[in-house]
Structures are given as C-alpha cells and as structure tokens.
C-alpha cells in the first residue's frame, strides 16, 4: 500500500494582501527553504525534554542526547545510500559542508568544477587551483567536456551540482563519477537541490562525497551533512571536540567525523534532520519524485502559455528536472513581479540571481560590457539595478491548485497590470 506523503506545517497559513483581504498562502519557494514536516516537529518535541550536552557527559540526559546525535549519522547515511566506510559530518548547511571539504583538501589540490554552480559550490574552491568547464547545451555535452578536461590533467576533485537551483536540470552524476574515477579523480555532489526531490544512492552511483541541507529537506532547524570519506585533512574549525590532545605547542586531531565538528553541535537540528531522512525513506523518494513530476509538468506547461513570459533553461529538453521554473515577464522587473504576486495574490516566489551569478549572466544574455559596468559600480559602492528573474519551485506540500494560482495570477497581470500600488 502506497504511503501518504508527509504532512507539512503551515500549509493552511493565511497572508494579508493589499486589498485588505487575507488569502491562503501559496508557497512556491521550496528551493530556498522548505516548511517543517509534521513528523520532524514531533521528533523535536519528543526530544527537547531530554536535550543535553553530548559525548563526554555521564548524566542520563547527556547519554540520551549523545545516542540521538550519533544514531542520526546512520539515518543520514541510509538516506543517501552511503557506504559503510563513509563518514557523516554534521554542519549547519551545504555551504558550511563545502567549506569544510575545501579546507580538508591537501595544499596544491586541483579542483575541476563548472560555472553553473551555486556560489556555495564555487567560492570555497578558490583557495585551491580550480578550473571551470565551459557551459554546455546538453548532459552529453557536459560528459564529453568533462572527460576531455580530466584526461588532460590530474585533478583531485570534480565538484558539481546534483540539480540546478536555477533551472532544475538533474545532472548525470553516475556517468560523471565513472569518468572521474577513470582518471583518478573523486566526485563531489552539491545535493542541496537534489536530495529533497530524488533518491540518492552514493554507493551505486559512485558519488564519493556529497552535501545537503536540512532546511531544504523539511527540517529547517539549522543542520546539514557532509557525507563521504574525509580522512585526516585539516579541519575548518579549530576547537573543542575536534581533538584528542592539545599541548601549548601541538595538537593531536581526532579522527573523522569528530575532527570536523569542533564546538558544541546543534543536537536538535541533527535530531530534526534524522527524522526527515527517516520519514522520507519510509515514503520512498520515488513516490516523492512521481508526485512532484506531475506538478512540475503542470507548472511548466502552464507558464509557457502566458503571453510575454520567457522561461530560462540550461539544457532545453533535458530528460529530468526537479520542480523549478525560472522566468521573466515582458514589462515587469523581476523584483516588481515577485512583489506583486505576494502583495496581491499571496503567492510566495523568489527573485534575483539565486546565488548563481555566472549562470544567470549567461541565461539572461547579459553583455560583457554590462557585466563589467555593474561590477565597477558595485566595487565603487554604488547600487545599480541588477538583472534577475523570478523563480517558482515546488515540493511535498504543493498542489495543482497552487500551480494554477500562479499561472492565473500571471495571466491577470498581463491583462490588467498591477491592481494596486505595490512598492518593489
């Protein structure tokens, strides 16, 4: 018997609109942060009375908290299909996870990545020798250029997204892993946008290292995970919990995962993340993907019928995409359009460049001269009008009515414009 999808808190929330009426809030901003899963909230409430310090406390509550924290590693590992030898390091989010991984790489490491990445999977690698693949127009093109580049030079790590947070394309990570391993390179996958929407099996697909965030997995309590074999690299944070012994002039670091978890951990966040992983495994990520594919198809099909609306895509006709749609509407700046949707229709979307400036510059065909001017103005302390787009994204709580509400609102905006003065 197929399990019901998890219930999310706040799906019946009301939002005030500029006409004085309240409407049910239509959440189409899942790619930024997801609502709280009811099962996660219940797990947190059950654990909170037993919250305590972890690892070195002998009191009863400390032992309970330590068991909850350590057993969570198994829940996370099972959710992503990790190998028995993989470490699970708890962090705040994907951004911190990637910074932890970057700091752990040896000096002189060479990293190969792409210009498509979220800034979290771009900026931390700049402390190393990093090369970028060119933009491609298809998954096949990506695989071809990746093999060409990996064949030509020795790289320690290939770092790619699992699914684009701007356009939704799911990347061919198993094929990339095979190519990377052929040339002695490990594959790291930023799974922030992949983990909530598709099943992941690190062992079967050959992913060596992976990171994701609880706040995109219906557990927004400030925890994420870095999974894979970290070894004895340099930890990003130096402090208590990450060491075996400290003298006045030397340090003996702990083994992974503790080596990379200095300071008092976010135990409640980890309990929440583990609860989300358990519940999603119970439901089955294939069921989640099937539900979201139906809604995503409805979303994409509806948007392309709106007069004057242009959608953005990296790989037109890509075989698989998570439920993300990024678009612009003739005559409306992205910020103004997003504000209208919120103020007049209680529809929550996101606007801007989605922490992916090189990709958005490409997708919006921003001329080099314009990009250089914006860069110079910002460096000089100015506030130039930035290019951008609107992003609608779906998740477990999205309904067909939510998708239709967005498409209908866009039709109204095309026909009537703003019904009220809305500050953007």
355: annotated active-site residue: yes
- Which uninterrupted H or E stretch holds 402? helix 400-416
Cα–Cα nearest to 272, from 94, 69, 107? 69
Q: Give the CA angle between residues 272, 273, 275 to the nearest 5°.
A: 65
Strand partners, 243: 253
Cα–Cα nearest to 34, from 405, 404, 398, 403? 398
CB burial string 299-310: b at 16+ within 10 A, e below: bbebbeebeebe
Whether residue 157 contacts residue 109, with contact meaning beta carbons closer than 8 Å, is answered with yes
In whole angstroms, what is the distance from residue 202 CA to residue 177 CA? Answer: 10
In whole angstroms, what is the distance from residue 306 CA to residue 329 CA? Answer: 9
Helices and strands, counts by H and E, the chain? 12, 17
Spell out the residues 6+ positions from residue 220 whose beta carbon is closer than 8 angstroms to its own. 33, 34, 35, 36, 214
Strand partners, 157: 111, 186
Please report where in the chains the tokens 């983990």 appear, as a residue: 195
Give, in order, the Cα–Cα distances in Å from 412 to each of 266, 409, 419.
45, 5, 9
What dihedral do alpha carbons 257, 263, 91, 254 form, nearest 10°? -10
In whole angstroms, what is the distance from residue 97 CA to residue 100 CA? Answer: 5
In whole angstroms, what is the distance from residue 320 CA to residue 309 CA? Answer: 22
CB burial string 75-103: b at 16+ within 10 A, e below: bbbebbbbeeebbbbbbbbbbbbbbbbbe
The catalytic residues are 355
């Amino acid at each position: 018997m197929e399990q019901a999808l998890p219930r999310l808190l706040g799906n019946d929330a009301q939002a005030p609109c500029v006409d004085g009426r309240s409407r049910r809030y239509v959440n189409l901003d899942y790619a930024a942060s997801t609502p709280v899963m009811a099962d996660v909230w219940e797990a947190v409430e059950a654990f909170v009375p037993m919250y305590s310090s972890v690892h070195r406390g002998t009191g009863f509550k400390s032992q309970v908290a330590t068991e909850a924290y350590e057993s969570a590693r198994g829940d996370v590992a099972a959710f992503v299909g990790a190998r028995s030898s993989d470490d699970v390091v708890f962090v705040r989010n994907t951004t911190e996870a990637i910074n932890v991984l970057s700091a752990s790489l040896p000096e002189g490491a060479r990293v190969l990545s792409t210009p498509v990445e979220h800034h979290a999977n771009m900026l931390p690698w700049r402390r190393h020798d990093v090369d970028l693949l060119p933009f491609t127009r298809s998954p096949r093109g990506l695989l071809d250029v990746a093999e060409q580049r990996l064949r030509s030079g020795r790289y320690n790590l290939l770092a790619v997204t699992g699914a684009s947070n701007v356009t939704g394309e799911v990347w061919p990570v198993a094929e990339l892993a095979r190519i990377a391993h052929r040339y002695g390179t490990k594959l790291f996958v930023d799974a922030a946008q992949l983990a909530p929407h598709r099943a992941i099996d690190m062992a079967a697909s050959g992913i060596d290292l992976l990171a994701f965030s609880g706040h995109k997995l219906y557990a927004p309590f400030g925890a994420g995970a870095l999974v894979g074999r970290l070894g004895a690299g340099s930890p990003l944070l130096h402090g208590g919990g990450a060491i075996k012994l400290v003298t006045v002039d030397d340090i003996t670091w702990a083994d992974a995962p503790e080596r990379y978890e200095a300071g008092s951990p976010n135990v409640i966040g980890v309990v929440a993340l583990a609860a989300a992983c358990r519940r999603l495994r119970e439901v089955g990520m294939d069921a989640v993907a099937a539900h979201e594919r139906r809604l995503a198809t409805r979303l994409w099909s509806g948007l392309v019928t709106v007069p004057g609306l242009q959608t953005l895509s990296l790989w037109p006709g890509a075989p698989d995409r998570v439920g993300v749609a990024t678009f612009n509407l003739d005559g409306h700046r992205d910020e103004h359009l997003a504000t209208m949707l919120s103020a007049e229709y209680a529809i929550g979307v996101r606007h801007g460049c989605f922490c992916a400036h090189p990709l958005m510059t490409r997708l919006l065909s921003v001329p080099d001269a314009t990009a250089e001017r914006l860069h110079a103005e910002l460096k000089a302390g100015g506030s130039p009008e930035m290019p951008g787009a609107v992003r609608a994204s779906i998740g477990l709580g999205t309904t067909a009515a939510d998708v239709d509400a967005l498409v209908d609102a866009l039709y109204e905006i095309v026909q009537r414009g703003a019904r009220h003065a809305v500050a953007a």
